[in-house]
Amino acid sequence: MKTTTNGQEAAGRGSPEGWLNAAYESLTESGVDAVKVLPLAKKLNLSRTSFYWFFEDREALLEALIERWRHKNTRNLVERTQAYAESITEAILNVFDCWLDSALFDSQFEFAMRSWALQSEDVAEEINKADAQRVEALTRMFARFGFEHDAAYTRARSIYLTQIGYISMKTREPLEERLKYIPEYLRIFTGVEPQTRELERFYSRHGVAGAS
């Protein structure tokens, strides 16, 4: 990505973040084929040539999109597996924050990336790497609470593949309905009874008093 230290010189050209945001919108709304310089310029009401002030070419923009996805989805998920927790159920609730907070994990972005991977071997490889990294992080989370490797790995995969299934199927359900099943998911994934105080903290940070 090109940079400039002269703000006045770049006036009228937009910004790298502006171009990247427009590319993100096009990718998530219409797929990677819509991420092209001229349509993005029209969307931003900028000249086509202004794009090249910030990016070498379309491929550089696509790489920036992939990097944003790595940073947003994979890094945040891995960090949530490492967050402080007193029990395995609380640790999983930390991860579940990703499924309910788009600031932590962008499901629409994830779906778009997986759709893009169907057209690109390179992106498919990125997806494979991310899947492995995320499952490994979840496995380490279980191991931290005393689960043997096979049990930790199997439970990690169960959590992860369940959520990817939600994303791939574009499942939509009211927040209250989804939260209602959280305790049972915790029992299934851990074999441990969740504590009321853990659930209440989880509900509270998602703006719900509790689930019936």
Give the model confidence (pLDDT) of 146-182 as tens digits: 999 999 999 999 999 999 999 999 988 888 888 999 9
Residues 35, 23 contacting (CB under 8 angstroms)? yes
* Domain coordinates in residue numbering, the chain: 1-56, 69-205
Q: What is the model's pLDDT at position 204? A: 92
What is the residue whose two structure tokens read 């788009």?
102
Architecture of domain 1-56: Orthogonal Bundle (1.10)
Q: What is the model's pLDDT at position 4? A: 44
Q: What is the model's pLDDT at position 7? A: 46
Out of 1.10.10, 1.20.120, 3.30.70, 1.10.357, the CATH code matching 69-205 is: 1.10.357
Q: What is the model's pLDDT at position 207? A: 85
CA 159 – CA 147 distance, rounded (Å): 15
The whole model's pTM is what? Answer: 0.90
| Tens of pLDDT, residues 65-104 | 999 999 999 999 999 999 999 999 999 999 999 999 999 9
